[in-house]
A = this chain, B = another copy of it.
Amino acid sequence: MSTAEETAGGEPQPWGEVSPDAARRLLVAAVEAFAERGYHATTTRDIAGRAGMSPAALYIHYKTKEELLHRISRIGHEKALDVLRTAADSEGTPAERLAEAVRSFVRWHAGQHTVARVVQYELDALGPDARAEIVALRRQNDAAVRQIIQDGVAAGDFDVPDVKGTTVAVLSLCIDVARWFNVNGPRTPDEVGALYADLVLRMVRATK
């Protein structure tokens, strides 16, 4: 992993492979601005300014402001899905896999909460085609979590009367971390991840 992909905290930045350099700076600036003020309240002049460039420079690398949001959404979702799948597909009991999935997914949403906020709350600003692409990625999150819960039920390790509903609730719980998590708050992403993994195991009444 290159240094460009890692922060001081060790959490991988999702933009490592974006090039050229100016395009990456614009993308990072757009994430910050969108997360702070929302897509519609952010101006192209603001994004370009944060990246240290003139407003016109943005249009050399991206066709529209919406293309920036689309790229952020896709890369962000892909990275989060990658984190979730790695944990879901690992070895171990369903309880271990579920705990690890929640722990790492929550850690991502807390550590990368600026990206996650954009990705989760600005979906409606995308056009129909782009939105459909992102929604498809989300369904894969759902499928990954549901699979673990089903495995646990089948093995007799979980007691879950409503698998679909519980899946929705687990994902909802993890995703909403991006909304309330505060870097200056009392908890680190690791701590929130550990707390939430425990809470989710309680929700499925894991017995081992």
Q: Which residues of A contact B (CB under 8 A)?
A: 36-38, 40-41, 120-121, 124-125, 161-162, 165-166, 168-169, 172-173, 175-177, 179-180, 187, 192, 195-196, 198-199, 202-203, 205
> B37 near A169 (CB under 8 angstroms)?
no
Sample of 12 further A-B pairs with CB below 8 A, known A41-B125, A172-B173: A38-B38, A38-B40, A38-B125, A40-B40, A121-B121, A166-B195, A168-B180, A169-B195, A172-B179, A172-B180, A176-B179, A199-B203
17 residue pairs of the A-B complex, CB under 8 angstroms, read: A36-B124, A38-B40, A38-B125, A121-B121, A162-B195, A165-B187, A165-B195, A169-B173, A169-B195, A172-B173, A172-B179, A172-B180, A175-B176, A176-B176, A176-B179, A199-B203, A202-B202
A101 smallest CB distance to B (angstroms): 16
Residues of B within 8 A of A202 (CB): 202-203, 205
* B38 A124 Cβ-Cβ under 8 A: yes
B168–A172 touching, CB < 8 Å: no
A205→B201 CA distance, assembly (Å): 11
